[in-house]
Amino acid sequence: MKKLFLFLLLALQLPLNAGIKDAINHHDVKLAITENRQYSVNIAITAIFRDEARFLKEWIDFHRLIGVERFYLYNNLSCDDYAAVLAPYVAAGIVTLVEWPHESIGLGDWNNIQTTAYRDAMNRARIEKVRWLAVIDVDEFIVPTIHHTLTDLLEEHRHACAVRVNWVFFGTSHVTEIPKNKLMIEMLTRNSGYVGESQGYKAILHTGRCETAGPHDGLYNDGFAPIWLPYATAQINHYWSRDEKHFYQVKVPRRIKLNQSVATSEEWVDNWNKEIPEAALPIQCYIHDLRLLMGMPNE
């Protein structure tokens, strides 16, 4: 009886082990295919924006500084001079500007508008042979905290289907309006601190290992799982409110439209206006080079 039991056990294990082996081999094959594929662009970003012209140049140039080569930007009914700001980048082939004139009447509509834009961006990225596509907003800055460039950071995780990067929220720092001779990242330093792993994040997606993209994450191919990056490795500085002028003229009216009170928006920003230097420091090392790239003299 004991011998029969052992025989049956071994017989049952054979197909199971074979199945596991096949799954592993299938994953390895898919990994090899995506690694050996020829890419023309290593890193791109996609974002949808409205009335952000005052901040677009700094956001683009910062991400160029850390290794981003291409931007797929979707204009959602802006009324400012975004086209003039983006024109040099469009002419240089750095920015692909897509008009996305869809109005939302609630969060559900807005999520659908974003998702459709990001799926379009993923398709464009694949056609143009982009390896990594970061899906973020134009008030979010990806900040490597060990490596100096996003290029080096992603190379360390080249086998991943995606990396997830956690937020740090930044308030207005009680700045009425950022002067033209100053960077936003040097003026807005008050923040929420480390809000907790996975409490809020965005993803950088490998285009060959994801089926599609969404506002915060992607849909991954079978056999692949994203990697969470700790704050010690990277963070996303989320300048949601910008300065006081942008907060009250742009952000508050949008939140009212979504049935959020002014008091609630102000409470959020108050919670993000804390003096927490350790969360503010990582981006500061880029200020000198960013000012040079933007043609601003260093003081």
What are 154-186's pLDDT values in tens digits?
A: 999 999 999 999 999 999 999 999 999 999 999
pLDDT value at position 150?
Answer: 99
Cα–Cα separations (whole angstroms), residue 44 to 121, 205, 296? 10, 10, 25
pLDDT value at position 198?
Answer: 63
In which band, very low, low, confident or very high, does the pLDDT at 247 lie, cut at 50, 70 and 90? very high
Residue reference for tokens 């207005």? 172
Are the CB atoms for 73 and 55 separated by under 8 Å?
A: no
Residue 105 has pLDDT above 60, yes or no: yes
Domain residue limits, the chain: 39-293
pLDDT value at position 18?
Answer: 45
Q: What is the DSSP letter of 248?
A: I
Residue 29: how many CA atoms within 13 Å on its side-chain side? 7
In which band, very low, low, confident or very high, does the pLDDT at 37 lie, cut at 50, 70 and 90? confident
Cα 101 to Cα 92: distance, rounded to the nearest angstrom = 24
Report the share of the chain in percent with pLDDT over 90.
76
- Residues 61-72 have pLDDT tens digits of 999 999 999 999
Q: Locate 146 and state its tokens.
A: 């060990």
Give 155-206 as a DSSP string: HHTTT-SEEEEEEEEB--TT-SS--TTS-HHHH---B-----TTSSEEEEEE
Cα 3 to Cα 153: distance, rounded to the nearest angstrom = 54
Point out the least confidently predicted range of 24-38, 46-60, 82-96, 240-254: 24-38
pTM of structure = 0.88
- Is CATH 3.90.550 the classification given to domain 39-293? yes
